[in-house]
Chains A and B, each alone.
Chain A
Amino acid sequence: AAGVIQSPRHLIKEKRETATLKCYPIPRHDTVYWYQQGPGQDPQFLISFYEKMQSDKGSIPDRFSAQQFSDYHSELNMSSLELGDSALYFCASSSGFRVNTEAFFGQGTRLTVV
C-alpha cells in the first residue's frame, strides 16, 4: 500500500540557510500535518492543512512557512536556519475530519544544521 513520502530523507544545511521539505500524502488523503521531533524529544505539532487551507497551527516558528498544493502535496519552508532546528521532521496525512480519522506518518526528513 502507498505510504506518505517525504523528501529528502536527509538534509544538511548551514546556519542562516534555507531548506524546503516536501511531503506527498497517501493517495486520496486531503489533510497533511507537519511535526518536529528534536533528539530524544516527543513530536511537536507544527501546522496542518485540509483541502489546501491551513487548518490548525501549533508551535511553528515565524521563520517557517508551509503550504499545500493542488495535488495535495505539501512543502515546509524553513529560513534563517538555526542549530536548534536540527531535528526529524515528520509529515502525516489523513482523509478528512471524522471521529475515526487516523494519521499515517512518513519516514521523516532528518535535518542537520551545522
Chain B
Amino acid sequence: ELKVEQNPLFLSMQEGKNYTIYCNYSTTSDRLYWYRQDPGKSLESLFVLLSNGAVKQEGRLMASLDTKARLSTLHITAAVHDLSATYFCAVANSGYALNFGKGTSLLVTP
C-alpha cells in the first residue's frame, strides 16, 4: 500500500522567513503533485513533478523531487501572509488515483 507522509503537519512562520515542507512516500511512483487548499475550498494544483531531479518554481514556492529517496520538498522563500493555507503532497498510484499526505497547515504571521 502506498503511504505518503508529510512533515511538519503544522507550521507557523514569520513573514520573510524561509522553510521547507517534506513529503516522503513508500513505493515507487513517477508522479508527485503539490496542492494548496484554503479552508473549505477546492484543491489548487501547484506543481506536477514527473522525473527524478525535477525542480519547479512559482513565485515564492519551489518544489523538487528525488525519486531514489522517494522524497519531495516544497520550499517557501520569504513567506508572506497570502501563503497561509494547507499544502498537500499527493502521489499517483498505478491506477492514477492520488494518495494524499496528511497536509501541512501553514500560518504566516507578521
Contact = CB atoms under 8 A, between A and B. Distances in A.
Contacts of B43: 43, 90, 105
A48 B42 contact: no
Interface in A85-114: 88, 90, 94, 97, 99-108, 110
Contacts of A58: 97
Given A102-B33, A102-B48, A107-B42, A42 B96 contact: no
A42 B103 contact: yes
A102 B35 CA distance: 12
How many A residues touch the partner, as a band? Answer: 20 to 34
Contacts of A17: none
Interface in B59-75: none
B99 A101 contact: no
Interface string B78-101: 000000000010001101111111
Secondary structure at chain B's binding surface: helix, strand, loop or mixed?
Answer: loop
Nearest to A107: B42
Contacts, number: 59
B99 A56 contact: no
Interface string B38-70: 001111110010100000000000000000000
How many B residues touch the partner, as a band? Answer: 20 to 34
B97 A33 contact: yes
Contacts of A44: 100
Interface of A: 31, 33, 35, 41-45, 48, 55-56, 58, 88, 90, 94, 97, 99-108, 110
18 contacts: A33-B97, A33-B98, A42-B88, A43-B88, A48-B95, A56-B97, A58-B97, A97-B96, A99-B30, A102-B33, A102-B45, A104-B45, A105-B42, A105-B43, A105-B44, A105-B45, A107-B41, A107-B42
Given A103-B98, A108-B41, 17 more contacts: A31-B96, A41-B102, A42-B100, A43-B43, A43-B88, A43-B98, A43-B100, A48-B95, A48-B96, A56-B93, A56-B97, A58-B97, A101-B31, A101-B96, A102-B45, A102-B48, A105-B45
